[in-house]
Amino acid sequence: MTRKTRQDGIRTPADLKLRCVVDPDTACWHWKAARDVNNRPSFWFPPIKAVASIGVACAWWKTGKRPEKGSAWHAVCNTPDCANPAHRRCGDRSTQMLALKIVRSPLVRARQAQGKRLHSKLTDADVAAIRGSTMTLQQIMDRYGICRSYACQLRRGVKRATLVAPQSSVFAIGAAMNSLNLKVAA
Ligand SMILES: [Zn+2]
């Protein structure tokens, strides 16, 4: 990227298209210019007087604002770096993962679940006790202070499907590692 590029920046979708190679079959715009340290397309965007990503620029062109906190203007054409604004929708991290068909590894999922469970009312031991008991839903609700639908989902294994050694993040991650290793070995 030259100094001149930074001064001129990208003001309009037409400017953006000039930095891309357009695929005639899919109409996807493949970004060919500068990337930031995370290898994401990055350019000077005069409307906000800052360096922006394609998602930020698309949000600006469609809404006149920067993207809301927690939202992501991601590509929905299965081409992660596609810069065509017509191929971008406002979603969040979760819809972005789905759109890009990113599958998290068991290790990452174990860490995420562990992070959520730090704030959970129930330990894995509690959940195991609920599943092993003959308590009624009402008794479970009263004893653990949870609502009916959550109690029901816990008991059926819809929520907290995988239980690991109670209260132990080390074991949770270890279990995920083991399942990874087993798959590799198999
Ligand atoms: Zn596309």
pLDDT of residue 172: 53
More confident residue, 54 or 80: 54
Q: What is the pLDDT of residues 92-136, one digit of tens each?
A: 878 887 877 777 788 887 887 777 776 677 888 889 999 988 999
Mean pLDDT computed over every residue of the chain: 83
Centroid of ligand 1 to alpha carbon of 81 (angstroms): 8
Distance 5 CA to ligand 1 centre (A): 24
**Nearest CA-CA partner of 65 in 53, 57, 73:** 57
**Which pair of structure tokens corresponds to residue 134?**
């003959």
Given a cut of 50, whether residue 166 has pLDDT beyond it is: no
Please tell me the least confidently modeled range out of 13-17, 89-93, 100-104: 100-104
The secondary structure of 133-174 as a DSSP string is S---HHHHHHHHT--HHHHHHHHHTSSS----STT-HHHHHH
The answer on pLDDT for 160 being more than 90 is no
- CA of 3 from ligand 1 middle (Å) equals 28
Average pLDDT of 4-25? 86
What pLDDT score was predicted for residue 2? 46
pLDDT at 4 > cutoff 60? no
Distance from the CA of 51 to the center of ligand 1, in angstroms? 22
The structure tokens listed for 105 are 């590894």
How close is the Cα of 123 to the center of ligand 1, in Å? 44
Give ion ligand 1 contacts, CB < 5 A: 28, 77, 79, 82, 84, 87
